[in-house]
Chains A and B, each alone.
Chain A
Amino acid sequence: EVQLLESGGGLVQPGGSQRLSCATSGFTFSNYAMSWVRQAPGKGLEWVSGITGSGGSTYYAGSVKGRFTISRDGSKSTLFLQMNRLRAEDTAVYYCARDLVASFGVVVNDYWGQGTLVSVSS
């Protein structure tokens, strides 16, 4: 059974840092790209960042580029999101999701974690 479990959320001051983790199981971690998606309270979904299965390529939304860093540890089957210079507008539930290349080469997020809440406030 595929499982993704996020951790590391909490209250952080503006300008501070936080590191999120996503522990995975039930699939061969290195075979899949992974993504982080966030959702501000009462708002819609926002794709934040992605990383290839090898970790060799990373991608970011413009709103977090230069402040957030995605990485992965294959030996622990764990995905990370290092968030620096946090702002109030980064307050959200952060989900990790598995990327699957489905039919016709279309990437989908087929499995999601339960999310972890990051609150940025003084």
Chain B
Amino acid sequence: DIQMTQSPSSLSASVGDRVTITCRTSQSISTYLNWYQQKPGKAPRLLIYATSSLQSGAPSRFSGSGSGTDFTLSISSLQPEDFASYYCQQTFNTPYTFGQGTRLEI
């Protein structure tokens, strides 16, 4: 199975800040990497797919980059609604594994 290492596990930031979350995989997955946002009590929401493609409806302040084993999710200017948990997911091989998550707090 492909192991996912996501960091940091939690992050404190302020409205307007730029933040970056990283995800490292145990083997190369090309660009088969997705990012999800989850708010408490809600289902996850797809933000970024195939490393850097923005899902329809997701704000343009979200961006993704990387390839191989190292990936990043960036939020250019934090808005109040961005405080949530974020998960990376690889779909290169089954089982499709998720990172441990990053909780973004005010």
Contacts and interface: CB of A to CB of B under 8 A. Distances in A.
A107 B94 CA distance: 11
Contacts of A114: 43
Interface stretch (B10-18, B20-28, B45-53, B70-78): B45-53
Interface residues on A, range: 20 to 34
Interface in B24-66: 31-34, 36, 38, 43-46, 49-50, 53, 55
B87 A44 contact: yes
Interface stretch (A10-18, A22-30, A45-53, A78-86): A45-53
Which of under 10, 10 to 19, 20 to 34, or 35 or more describes the interface residues of B? 20 to 34
Contact of A45 (B31, B33, B55, B98): B98
Interface of B: 1, 31-34, 36, 38, 43-46, 49-50, 53, 55, 85, 87, 89, 91, 94-101
Closest 10 A/B residue pairs (Cβ) = A112-B43, A107-B91, A59-B94, A106-B50, A44-B101, A45-B98, A47-B96, A61-B95, A108-B49, A104-B50
